[in-house]
Amino acid sequence: MALYKQEQYLTKSNDVAFDSKYSPGTAAPHPGIYRCTSCGDEIAIAGGHILPPQNHKQHNPSNGAVHWQLLVYPVQKK
């Protein structure tokens, strides 16, 4: 579970970006923190970089298939 200390810097969002699940080995559409929906492992990744493969560090194959889901993404000021 992602942790934070200063909640004044985070905003709850219902953006559809949080609803999609991504396969291992695909490019992350947004920079941020992603969570494996099977085993709960979390990673931070830059947008466009490749999400970890099926055999990422914490994943036990008995947990089921790896799918990454966006938990937190940064918003740059314009």
Is 14 among the domain residues? no
C-alpha 76/C-alpha 78 separation (Å) is 6
pLDDT of the residue at 46:
96
Residues of the chain with pLDDT under 70: 54-59
Element (H, E) at 69: strand 68-72
In the three-class reduction of DSSP (H, G, I as helix; E, B as strand; rest coil), residue 21 is classed as strand
Domain count within the chain: 1
pLDDT of the residue at 57:
63
Question: Angle at the Cα of 28 (from 42 to 10), degrees rounded to 5?
Answer: 60
Range of the domain at 73: 31-78
Structure-token pair, residue 39? 């085993």
* Tokens describing residue 32: 């941020």
pLDDT on residue 62? 80
| Category of 50 on φ-ψ map: left (φ > 0), alpha (ψ -120 to 50) or beta | beta
- What pTM does this model have? 0.86
